[in-house]
């Protein structure tokens, strides 16, 4: 019972060591990833994984939940404080499940809701035809403006008044700009819709005060906990102002969608929320945006075209159309050089989501490592050298070595 992983299973242990090395020696530029703390991982790796606790604190279906209740209540209170909401459900296993649960609590199957087109930065759960959201409900999409590549709130309003959706979703996976939630609130009020804010990508920026609060405007917030928020892999749903709505969301999460919660992950969330409530997290959130702006400026100075011409957040979308390389090819050659990013469609992309004309990058991981604006200039230079010389093995080898050297000055674990 008490043997360590390295004694019990050399294969899994070995691959975990390899993955730690990969995370240590490469540039993590995937905008939705982060390095969580050792404290969070300790909680997630604890014996709390052994417990069953269907229900909520004080109302469980199994005995033995004295300490589990305390931990979940801590997570709930900290989440409410971080985001200024009256309610928090910290049991959601993942962002997609959180969105399912909330839509399930707000709509009957077949009813209409509105979200941003997936190819323009929306999310599968915001109405994709291959997802539950497109199969069980009737999604209608809004789009970004073709010229500015930003949201045009008058157009969103026009579409909402024509379509009269029951729910409007705002909050995206590949939109580099700050969202005006006040405008979304006004639009939702005018057409009588609920406003669901999916803040998964920028929750840490809101928690750290680098972006304005969302709770004064949304009815419900969903978010993952592992992106800018830097917690364990998981999610939560927060009813902003209406406790009755909070009760509906709770019922939709359990028993509506999930069974037993992942108590070890909830403990990790509680720890991450504690960390996010500290003054250092405010500095971290601000630095993420400073780094993204510095990286964006340098990329543009080096001749890259950025969707919407820049960023207000942690995220940058690069249009590769004039570079003679697809997003898919760029992802592959960058990985060969130790630059880890993902291909991404750009607004009005003519290529498929599997190929794409763009790549998406973000600064949460590098900022956690302690990198600042001067390192962002170096990072932009690495990207340029590889994208300009995609078939040159020597360039990729040299960049990989330089990245390893840079990373060694900013250790992760």
Q: Which two tokens stand for residue 9?
A: 């299973």
**Out of 28, 55, 95, 122, the residue judged to bind ligand DSN by CB under 6 A:** 95
24 in active site: no
* Binding flags for ligand DSN, 108-147, as an x/- string (CB under 6 A): ---------------x------------------------
Active-site position among 81, 112, 138, 233: 233
Q: Considering the candidates 85, 173, 224, 356, report the single residue annotated as catalytic.
A: 224
Does 173 participate in binding ligand DSN (rule CB under 6 A)? yes
CB closer to ligand DSN out of 32 and 131: 32
DSSP secondary structure of 313-368: SSEEEEE-GGGT--HHHHHHHHHHTTEE-EEE--TT-SS-TTT-SEEEEESHHHHH
**Cα-based distances in Å from 74 to 90, 213, 263, 274:** 10, 21, 12, 9
Residue 201 structure tokens: 């990508």
198 is catalytic: yes
Per CB under 6 A, contacts with ligand DSN among 28-47 are 32
Q: Which residue's CB is nearer to ligand DSN, number 208 or number 364? A: 364
| 8 Å CB contact between 328 and 354 | yes
From the CB of 102, what's the least distance to ligand DSN, in Å?
Answer: 15
CB closer to ligand DSN out of 78 and 227: 227
Is 227 annotated in the active site?
yes
* Active-site residue, 52 included: yes
Q: Phi and psi dihedrals of 249, rounded to 5?
A: -65, -45
Chain Cα centroid distance, residue 125: 13
Instruction: Kindly report whether the peptide bond that precedes residue 255 is cis, defined as omega within 30 degrees of 0.
Output: yes
Shortest distance, position 96 Cβ to ligand DSN, whole Å = 7
The alpha carbon of 173 is separated from its chain's Cα centroid by a whole number of angstroms, namely: 7
> Is 54 marked active-site?
yes
- Active-site choice (227, 351, 384, 400): 227
Active site residues: 52, 54, 198, 224, 227, 233
**Residues forming the site for ligand DSN (CB under 6 A):** 32, 95, 123, 173
């Amino acid at each position: 019972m008490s043997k360590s992983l390295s004694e019990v299973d050399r294969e899994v242990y070995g691959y975990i060591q390899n993955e730690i090395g990969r995370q240590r020696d490469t540039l993590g530029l995937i905008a939705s990833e982060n390095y969580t703390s050792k404290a969070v991982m300790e909680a997630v790796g604890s014996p709390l994984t052994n417990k069953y606790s269907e229900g909520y604190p004080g109302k469980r279906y199994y005995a033995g939940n004295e300490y589990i209740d305390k931990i979940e209540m801590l997570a709930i209170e900290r989440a409410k404080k971080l985001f200024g909401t009256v309610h928090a459900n910290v049991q959601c296993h993942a962002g997609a499940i959180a969105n399912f649960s909330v839509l399930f609590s707000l709509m009957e199957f077949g009813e209409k809701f509105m979200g941003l087109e997936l190819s323009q930065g929306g999310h599968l759960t915001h109405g994709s035809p291959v997802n539950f959201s497109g199969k069980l409900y009737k999604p209608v999409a809004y789009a970004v403006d073709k010229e500015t590549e930003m949201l045009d709130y008058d157009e969103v309003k026009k579409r909402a008044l024509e379509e009269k959706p029951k729910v409007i979703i705002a909050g995206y996976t590949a939109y580099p700009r700050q969202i005006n939630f006040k405008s979304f609130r006004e639009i939702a009020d005018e057409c009588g819709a609920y406003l669901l804010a999916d803040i998964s990508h920028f929750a840490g920026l809101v928690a750290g005060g680098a972006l304005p609060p969302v709770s004064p405007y949304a009815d419900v917030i969903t978010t993952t906990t592992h992106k800018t928020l830097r917690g364990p892999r998981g999610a939560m749903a927060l009813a902003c102002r209406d406790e009755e709505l909070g009760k509906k969301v709770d019922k939709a999460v359990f028993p509506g969608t999930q069974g037993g919660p992942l108590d070890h992950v909830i403990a990790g969330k509680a720890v991450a929320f504690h960390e996010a409530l500290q003054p250092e997290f405010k500095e971290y959130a601000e630095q993420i945006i400073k780094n993204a702006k510095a990286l964006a400026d340098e990329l543009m100075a080096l001749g890259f075209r950025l969707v919407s011409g820049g960023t207000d957040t942690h995220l940058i979308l690069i249009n590769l159309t004039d570079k003679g390389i697809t997003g898919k090819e760029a992802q592959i050659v960058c990985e060969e050089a130790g630059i880890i990013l993902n291909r991404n469609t750009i607004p009005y992309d003519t290529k498929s989501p599997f190929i794409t004309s763009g790549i998406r990058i973000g600064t949460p991981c590098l900022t956690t490592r302690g990198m600042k604006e001067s390192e962002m200039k170096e990072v932009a230079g690495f990207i340029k050298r590889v994208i300009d010389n995609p078939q040159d093995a020597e360039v990729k080898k040299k960049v990989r070595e330089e990245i390893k050297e840079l990373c060694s000055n900013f250790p992760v674990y």
